[in-house]
Structure formats: structure tokens, C-alpha cells
Amino acid sequence: MNFDFSDEAKELGEQARKLLAEKAGTGPARRAMAADAPAMDAALWKEIAELGWTAARVPEAHGGLGLTVEEVAQLAEAAGGSLAHVPLVSTLLATEALVLAGTEAQQAKWLPGIASGEIIACVAWSEPGAVSPATVKTVSSGSALTGVKQPVADLAVAHVAIVAAAGADGPRLYIVDLKGAQTAAVETVDLVRRHGKLTLSATPAEALGTASDYQDWLDRAAVILAYEAIGTAGAAMAMTVDYAKTRVAFGQKIGRYQAVKHKCADMYIKLELARAHALHGLAMIGTNGAELRQVAAAARVASLDALAYCAEENVQLHGGIGFTWESDCQFYYRRNRALVAALGPRGWWADRLVRALEQRNSAAA
Amino acid sequence: MDFNDAPQEAEFRAVVRAWLNENATEYRDPPPEGMKLPEFIARSKAWQAKKHAAGYTGITWPKMFGGQGLTPMHSIIYGQEESRWHVPQGLYSIGLGMCIPTVFTHGNPEVVQRYVPKALLGEEVWCQLFSEPAAGSDLAGIRTKAVREGDEWVIDGQKVWTSFAHASDFGIVVCRTDPNMPKHKGLTMFIVNMKAPGVTVKGIKQMSGGSDFNEVFFDGVRVNDSHRLGAVGDGWKAALTTLMHERLAVGGKPRYAPGYETLMKLAKDVEAPDGSPAIGASDVRQKIAQTYINDQGIKLTQMRALSALSKGQVPGPEQSISKVVVAKTMQDLASFALDLSGGDGFVAGADADPELAKLQGSYIGSAGLRIAGGTDEILRNIIAERVLGLPGDMRPDKDTPFNQSVPA
């Protein structure tokens, strides 16, 4: 039995955490929050590209390293933990779609630039009024899309968008070249990560894979985003635990009180459950396992549960200071909303999990 | 990643499987219901002797104590294969899982020689005498006392929640030997003969109606000093050895316990308030998902630990979440499913639906599981203190001589 990351993936994760601990974190996040701050940390992005992180998942034939989704997960967790102000997870999610479903020509057009870091990719999934992947309103007319996608993470810095829209046979993915596209900034609850509005009016778009590929990509995206959420939740938990070890009230460290320590234990419990399912998701992706649909949904739900709990109780256990503008608690609390909006709410994913279980049961019957 | 055995694991599994196929045939079916204790003991002893002869007992124990000197992975593989059969289980889990490792860690050579082989062979059954009416979670607060008289110690007091005390030949007992010392420091552990004069075992009837535990009374029970485990005053250290082994044993979901599949099946047959099948209701689907996440999450967490063992590494601390998740999930699921079934979920006995009766059993049993082997609250303390490094609870009696903080 080997239910664990490969040593290579762990090594890359270690490298990523080390670099981002130095170059990212709450300090740079606070600077990024300023209204006139750039939409990404360009110097850090350059360094990341040089280290090959954006090339990790790109096949060698297209200038990449041809690594596995385990490496992608390690990078997503490191990015989530450090709040790094770079479009790394957006680009990794888009790369996964291109690697999974792109034609040879589509891959040749986009992947080499992604691998070198010159092309930044984003995922346009959310829409006004759409709360699940099933209720997409942006429509395709063959070779063009019409509709509004928002909020789209990292849209302002991206060169290409992977767009979810309704095709003839149901929702699926499209590639939209953002050169000349109609974009605008959108304010969101997350003040660090920039989001935008992409208005599509018969905008040229290429279909990316089939409707079934879209469903498969949703599974993979759910697992990758689970790792980002785990990274962010872990950072919030670490912040809480540090504070509980130092803050004194009623003559002793607040970490001595069970009301406090039991919440910290619950943070850990929720995080470990999320880790178990997310790792299972990686195992299923790596082996083309038939259970990926249910496993990915479980990873998504468990990771959102962990993040919501850690982010919320982090503020709570800091008390009044945690509610101030100067406190770093707000970064995790706000990022929680960004990660929910990125791929639809917990309730829809829990339902997807149960649908997958029902299908498995009826197939077995 | 790979869920399969490594080659040497697969080889061991094949050997074990072949042996069981040959030797466990009489345990193909579940035992008859309502088996009486003497028959259970006889069946358990027969199976243990068979295993022992084949070298499948004490798999991880050092060879010098009669064990096989193999790895935890070997023991786990044997357990997985054995669980495919209805072999008698439970009688030796506390003795061989917890008591005897304490005996061979802290006992003198004569005691080890006298007791360990017979325990391993299954000839003698052991129990663990730790908890008391006034010392459950706060185990170091025990009051059962042992007073030295020449070469002997005289034990007086009461223990409680002792599994299999009524079937046991011997037990390990923690006693207070010096009430002038602070509570953790005045304790000593002994081996006690459960058939000795002055030992009285009384069954406890639980909320469930079952009787898995006992009260054990000690009234002037005499134990030779050679049966002391560890130094005088080192009983807490010895107890930690035992409890370390307990934590390895208590954890996973009980095999009989209902899971998310139970709720899925039930919700197809039961109606939501609007008359549609309950399986379509959002709250039902959310509960199925949550149960899946918790139960499967614990299974997967255990697989992470197995992977570490398989590579010869020490598992991480994540295993510590098992019981606290499993027990509460079981209670929540049973409660939710019985809610869903309305009055039918409340009717018991001969008129009850058998599936709902199982859920009722789970509803009642889970209340005990949340307490046994460390309460939810103590387990959260352990996670917070040992895993996250938070400071220990405030313990105002920690440094006070025991007889000054507790009425005699």
C-alpha cells in the first residue's frame, strides 16, 4: 500500500512552501490589497515560471515537464497557504483542462506559453445568477459565445480564458483568446485576489473537448482547488494555534481553555478529513479510477468545510483584535468566499457526491 | 499511488490466506445468536491455540517473549485476512493488546516467564483494572489503595468498566501506594489474580441492556511484591504503556455500525413530509454526503497510516482523529435516520422493522462509544496538546499531595 504523495511531489511542495514563505504571505497580501496595487506580483510570477511550476503539468512535447497532478496539488496547497499574489492556481486549473481535453493544435497553441510563464490562463466559470455548473447561461452558437462571466479570478492579467458555457449537448468548456476581449474589474469580498467581468457578445471561442470532458475536468478542478483550500485553511489554523499559545487571559494562555483548544482540535480534524479525500482524489486521477466523481466531490465539500471553519474560528478566537482591519485574520476569512465562488457551493457538490453514489449503486445492482 | 500490497506483503497475505482457508473452515458462518459465556470462551481458546501453533499470535512482539518479531504491517494483514472469517474475537484483545505488553515491558523475568506464554497461548485471560467511579477521564485520581505488608501488598478499593473481568484469570491493576505524593506520583501497578480471595466481580447493566463491563471490588486482596510491574511509585508510567497500546486498538468504525449506505437505502423507502421519496430531499442528501465524508475519511486516514507502516515509517498523528469522528458520526446518522422514520423508528422489540432496530441499537451504542476509550472531550484535548502543541489544561491538583486534594 502506498497512499501518499511521491517523493518528487513532496520535494516540489517543500521548495514551493519555502519560496512562498519568503516571497508571499500576509505582508505582501496586505500590500496587494491597496486599490492602486498591481493585479499580480510580476516579479514573483517570473521566478515561479523560471522554477518550472507552470510547466509542471505541461507534456514534454509542449515544452513542459510532464509531471503528475500530485505536483499540481502540492503547488496549489503552497499557493493557498501563502496567499501568493500570482495567478498560479488559475493557470494550473486551465492547464488541466487543456491537458485533459485539448486537441493537438490547441495544446500546441497555448501550452508552450503557459509552460514558460508568458501566457497566463484563467477559468471563467461563475456567472451572475448561476449557482451551479448545471445552470450556466452563457451560450455557444458554434464558434462564438454570448453571455457574461463574473467574477473571474485573475482575468485582468490573463491572456486566455477557459470558459464554461452551454453547448448543444449541455454545459462544456470553450477557449477564449482574451486579446481584445471586453473585460472589466469586479470588486469582490476577497480584496487580494483580483477578479473581473468578461462580457462575451458573439465572441469567437473554440470548443475544448466534449460535454463529458467538462464533467471530468470539474472533478480534477475540484481536487486541485481542494488543495488550495487545504493550504489556506492550514494557514488559518496555524495562525489560531500560534495566538492561543501566546495570548493571556484570566492569568493564563488562552490555549489552556478547553473552549479554545477543542476548536483548534476541530480545525485539525476537519483538515485531516479533507486531506484524506483530496489525496484519494489524486490517487483516482492518477489511476483513472472509476470512483473519481464521488471522491472529487467529497474532497471539494470536505475542504470547503475545513476552510470555512478554520477561517471563521480564527477570527473568533482572536477576539476583538481579529476583527480589526490591521489583523491578518481577514485574509483567510475573505479568501474562503473566493474559493467557494471559484467552482460552486458546498450544497451542489454534496448533491453531486450523492448522485455519484446512486449511479454506482444502480450500476452494481 | 498504489492501493496494492508490496511484493513481500502480498506473499505474506497469500500464506495467511491459504492457512485460513485450510484451518478456519468451521468459522465460515456467524456463530449462533445468544451464545453463552462458557461456550464463547471455549471457542475463543480453541481458535487461539490453533493460531498459536501456526505462529500467528504475538506477531509484532519480540521473539524473546514468544512473539514472531514481525512488523505492524504483518499484524494488520493477518487481521484483515482473519476478519473475512467469523472467528471468535474480543476475549484476548485487551489482554494481548494492552496488558501483556505492559507485563513484558515492566515485569521481572520470573513474572514474564510465568505469565506471558500462557497468555499468548490463550490458556489464561486478562483484564485491565484502571478506571474507578471517581477516576474516569482523570485516571490518575484513582483511590484503590495498596498497602505494603512484608513481601505482600494488600489491595482495597473498587474498579469499574472492566471488560471481561468475569472471564479473566488475571488483571493488571493500578493502585495508590503513597497518598502523600501528588496524584501521578503515588501510583504503582500490580498483577492480580482475579480468583484470589477478596476479589468480587459484578456485571454492570448498560443503558443498552447489554453487560459488556463489570465492577470489580477488592477487599483485602493480597499480592506478592514480585507481581509489581515497575518501581513503586512508577504506576503512571506503566499505565501510559498500556494506554499507548489502547490507542492503537480503539478507533475504526465498528463492523456492525450503519453507514451512509444505510441512510441511502432507508431514504428510498421513506417519504419526505411532502409525500415524495426522502432521498430527493436536500437535507437527506446533505446528511448522506456528510456521513460518507466522515466514515470514508477515517478509512482513508487509516490507509495513510498503513502506507507509512508499509514503508517502515512511523505514522503521523492524523490517526488520533479516528474515534472522535467515528462515534459522533454514528450517533448523528442513527439519530437522523430514526427522525426520518417517524413513529416506525421508535417502535422496538418484536414489532420493529429489523433495519430500524439496528439503527436504534446504533443510536444507543454510539452514546457509549463516545465515552469508552477516551471521551470526545479528552480526545480533543489530546489532539490539541500533543498534535498542535497547545499548553495542557489547568490542573490545580497536579502538585498537591493526593490526600490533601481529595477527601480520604
Annotated domain spans of chain B: 7-89, 126-248, 250-387
| Cell numbers for A84 | 501568493
Arch. (CATH architecture) of B250-387: Up-down Bundle (1.20)
Same domain, yes or no: A93 and A136? no
CA angle, corner A172, sides to A170 and A175, nearest 5? 145
> B316 vs A100, which has greater pLDDT?
A100
Nearest beta carbon to residue A351 from set B285, B292, B392: B285
Whether B246 is catalytic is: yes
Contact A269 B307 (CB under 8 A): no
* Arithmetic mean of pLDDT over chain A: 96
- Measure in Å the smallest separation between the Cα of A214 and chain B Cα atoms: 23
Per-residue model confidence (pLDDT) at position B256: 73
Average pLDDT over residues B297-311: 90
Average pLDDT over residues B141-155: 97
Contact A276 B301 (CB under 8 A): yes
Percent of chain B with pLDDT over 90: 78
Cα within 13 Å of Cα(B134), Cβ side: 9
Chain A contact present for B384, CB below 8 A:
yes
Question: pLDDT tens-digit profile of A212-263?
Answer: 999 999 999 999 999 999 999 999 999 999 999 999 999 999 999 999 999 9
> B253 vs A346, which has greater pLDDT?
A346
CB B184 within 8 Å of CB B398: yes
Per-residue model confidence (pLDDT) at position B212: 84
* Predicted confidence (pLDDT) at residue A1 exceeds the cutoff of 90: no
- Measure in Å the smallest separation between the Cα of B214 and chain A Cα atoms: 31
Per-residue model confidence (pLDDT) at position A142: 86
Average pLDDT over residues A61-76: 98
Measure the CA–CA gap between A30 and A331, rounded to whole angstroms: 8
- Measure in Å the smallest separation between the Cα of A1 and chain B Cα atoms: 5
In a domain, A365, yes or no: no
- Is the preceding omega at residue A151 within 30 degrees of 0, hence cis? yes
Per-residue model confidence (pLDDT) at position B396: 85
pTM above 0.90, yes or no: yes
Chain A residues with CB under 8 Å of B1 CB are 2-4, 6, 70, 279, 282-283, 286-287
Same domain, yes or no: A220 and A297? yes
Same domain, yes or no: A326 and A267? yes
Handedness of CA B151, B152, B153, B159 (dihedral sign): positive
Same domain, yes or no: A191 and A224? no
In a domain, A310, yes or no: yes
In a domain, A1, yes or no: no
Percent of chain B with pLDDT over 70: 97
Same domain, yes or no: A17 and A140? no
Per-residue model confidence (pLDDT) at position B211: 86
Per-residue model confidence (pLDDT) at position A365: 78
Same domain, yes or no: A356 and A216? yes
Confidence of residue B309 (pLDDT cuts 50, 70, 90): confident
- CATH code, A94: 1.10.540.10
Average pLDDT over residues A278-303: 96
Average pLDDT over residues A345-363: 95
Per-residue model confidence (pLDDT) at position B246: 62
Measure the CA–CA gap between B216 and B221, rounded to whole angstroms: 12
* Predicted confidence (pLDDT) at residue B253 exceeds the cutoff of 90: no
Chain B residues with CB under 8 Å of A265 CB are 379-381, 383-384, 388
B46 contacts: CB under 8 Å, gap ≥ 6: none
* Predicted confidence (pLDDT) at residue A352 exceeds the cutoff of 90: yes
Same domain, yes or no: A256 and A323? yes
- Please give the distance of CA A10 from its chain centroid, rounded to a whole number: 19
Chain B contact present for A128, CB below 8 A:
no
Tell me what ipTM this predicted complex has: 0.96
> A64 vs B398, which has greater pLDDT?
A64
* Predicted confidence (pLDDT) at residue B150 exceeds the cutoff of 70: yes
Domain boundary among A117, A135, A170: A117
Chain A residues with CB under 8 Å of B3 CB are 1-3, 283
Same domain, yes or no: A264 and A345? yes
Average pLDDT over residues B49-55: 96
Catalytic residue among B9, B152, B215, B246, which? B246
Domain boundary among A170, A194, A209: A209
Nearest beta carbon to residue A3 from set B1, B260, B388: B1
Chain A contact present for B27, CB below 8 A:
no
Contact B1 A2 (CB under 8 A): yes
Confidence of residue B233 (pLDDT cuts 50, 70, 90): very high
* Predicted confidence (pLDDT) at residue B247 exceeds the cutoff of 60: no
* Arithmetic mean of pLDDT over chain B: 92
> B179 vs B273, which has greater pLDDT?
B179
Chain A contact present for B347, CB below 8 A:
no
Chain B residues with CB under 8 Å of A244 CB are 390
- Give chain B as a 3 state SS string: CECCCCHHHHHHHHHHHHHHHHHCHHHCCCCCCCCCHHHHHHHHHHHHHHHHHHCCCCCCCCHHHCCCCCCHHHHHHHHHHHCCCCCCCCCCHHHHHHHHHHHHHHCCHHHHHHHHHHHHHCCCCEEEECCECCECCCHHHCCCEEEEECCEEEEEEEEECCCCHHHCCEEEEEEECCCCCECCCCEEEEEEECCCCCEEEEEECCCCCCCCEEEEEEEEEEEEHHHEECCCCCHHHHHHHHHHHHHHHCCCCCCCCCCHHHHHHHHHHCECCCCCEHHHCHHHHHHHHHHHHHHHHHHHHHHHHHHHHHCCCCCCHHHHHHHHHHHHHHHHHHHHHHHHCHHHHCCCHHHCCHHHHHHHHHHHHHHHHCCCCCCHHHHHHHHHHHHCCCCCCCCCCCCCEHHHHCCC
Q: Which domain holds residue A51?
A: 7-117
* Predicted confidence (pLDDT) at residue B372 exceeds the cutoff of 90: no
Contact B301 A273 (CB under 8 A): yes
Contact B294 A264 (CB under 8 A): no
**β-strand partners of B127:** B171
Contact A276 B387 (CB under 8 A): no
Per-residue model confidence (pLDDT) at position B359: 96
Q: Which of residues 72-91 of B touch A (CB under 8 A)?
A: none
- Measure in Å the smallest separation between the Cα of A330 and chain B Cα atoms: 22
Average pLDDT over residues B353-373: 93
* Predicted confidence (pLDDT) at residue B250 exceeds the cutoff of 50: no
Confidence of residue A364 (pLDDT cuts 50, 70, 90): confident
Same domain, yes or no: A274 and A351? yes
Confidence of residue B395 (pLDDT cuts 50, 70, 90): confident
Domain boundary among A174, A209, A244: A209
In a domain, A134, yes or no: yes
* Span of A181-185, B195-199, B297-301, B311-315 with lowest mean pLDDT: B311-315
* Predicted confidence (pLDDT) at residue A110 exceeds the cutoff of 50: yes
Per-residue model confidence (pLDDT) at position B251: 56
Per-residue model confidence (pLDDT) at position B310: 85
Nearest beta carbon to residue A269 from set B4, B300, B324: B324
Which residue does chain B place closest to A253, by CA atoms? B391
Q: Which of residues 268-307 of A touch B (CB under 8 A)?
A: 268-269, 272-277, 279-280, 282-283, 286-287, 294, 297-298, 301-302, 305
* Predicted confidence (pLDDT) at residue A175 exceeds the cutoff of 70: yes
- Measure in Å the smallest separation between the Cα of B400 and chain A Cα atoms: 19
Amino acid found at A321: I
B126-248: which CATH topology?
Butyryl-CoA Dehydrogenase, subunit A; domain 2 (2.40.110)
- As for how many domains chain A has, the answer is 3
Chain B contact present for A192, CB below 8 A:
no
- CATH code, A188: 2.40.110.10
